[in-house]
Amino acid sequence: MDPRLLVLGGDGGVGRAVVTACNADGWNGLSADVRPSSPDTFNLDVTNAAQVAKFFREQDPFDSVVYAAGRNGEAGISNINFTRTAKDIMDVNYHGVVAALQAWARTTVKNPGLSPKHFVVVSSNSAHVARSRSSAYCASKAAVSMLVRCVARELAFNTFTIWAVEPGFIEDTPMSTELIRRLEGVPAHRIPGERTLTAASLAAYIMKGINGDFTWLNGTTLRIDGGEQ
């Protein structure tokens, strides 16, 4: 049986690219999203911890998981909407990862025969790069990158490998397309030599780490932004 890989946020630009890449590599790529655009995608709200836990309990074990769900939002600190901006961003970008990691660890630890067992989080170089009017987004990415490092240490005695990628500007996702539209004529990023990522190239990078089963990736947050800023 082909190994099973679950992509949370699998209908988004990066998530969809990971599903495509893992299927091409011989995996059984499964997708879950809050608003499925395909009948093959599970309906799952990552911000609902009880729903996430139930989903993992009722599914056959996943060999690996990629968390690609994410939310962005811009607002100045003086007029930020706490619920619709700050809290919602943190719920998807951080609390959802906590829920998924917990549910995955509880179900996977009972199946030591699975291999490889990677949990990969798509974070952002915004964990390190300050961006005006993006305090909630940057804070959420800083939080999730540290979460990955802490949980990787906690579960290191198992065969889990937990790591994150921190991409910069990805030129062909819905988020980047909207950014370019709103900031027309304004440089959205500063990358020497136009070294921008695409969703497919990021997905290929993630799958290389999973397929290689590089155990030394545990606890690593890989900043891959072409030297942005």
* pLDDT for res 185: 46
* pLDDT for res 144: 96
Domains of the chain, CATH where assigned? 4-224 (3.40.50.720)
Contacts of 37 (CB under 8 A, 6+ apart): 11
* pLDDT for res 180: 57
Range in 89-103, 128-142, 181-195 the model is least confident about: 181-195
- Helix axis angle for 13-24 and 199-212, nearest 10°, is 50
Residue 122 has pLDDT above 80, yes or no: yes
Distance of CA 68 to the CA centre of its chain: 3
Q: Does 130 or 211 have the greater pLDDT score?
A: 211
pLDDT band per the 50, 70, 90 thresholds, residue 85:
confident
pLDDT digits (tens, 9 = 90+) for 185-211: 444 455 666 677 889 999 999 999 999
Q: Indicate the residue type of 225.
A: D
* pLDDT for res 191: 62
Q: Does 17 or 114 have the greater pLDDT score?
A: 17
* pLDDT for res 160: 85
Q: Is 8 exposed, middle or buried (0-12, 13-18, 19+ CB in 10 A)?
A: buried
Closest to 194 measured CA to CA, from 155, 162, 228: 228
- What is the mean pLDDT of the segment spanning 5-27? 95
Q: Indicate the residue type of 208.
A: K
* pLDDT for res 80: 67
Q: Does 182 or 160 have the greater pLDDT score?
A: 160
* pLDDT for res 173: 65
Rounded Cα distance between 212 and 15, Å, is 20
Q: Does 156 or 228 have the greater pLDDT score?
A: 156
161-167 and 64-67 strand pairing: unpaired
pLDDT band per the 50, 70, 90 thresholds, residue 22:
very high
- What is the mean pLDDT of the segment spanning 64-79? 82
* pLDDT for res 118: 94
**Mean pLDDT computed over every residue of the chain:** 86
Range in 30-39, 65-74, 77-86, 180-189 the model is least confident about: 180-189
Q: Does 135 or 85 have the greater pLDDT score?
A: 135
Q: Is 182 exposed, middle or buried (0-12, 13-18, 19+ CB in 10 A)?
A: exposed
* pLDDT for res 205: 96
Residue 214 has pLDDT above 90, yes or no: yes
Phi, psi of 41 (to 5 degrees): -95, 130
DSSP assignment of 181-210 equals HHTTTS-----GGG--B-HHHHHHHHHHHH
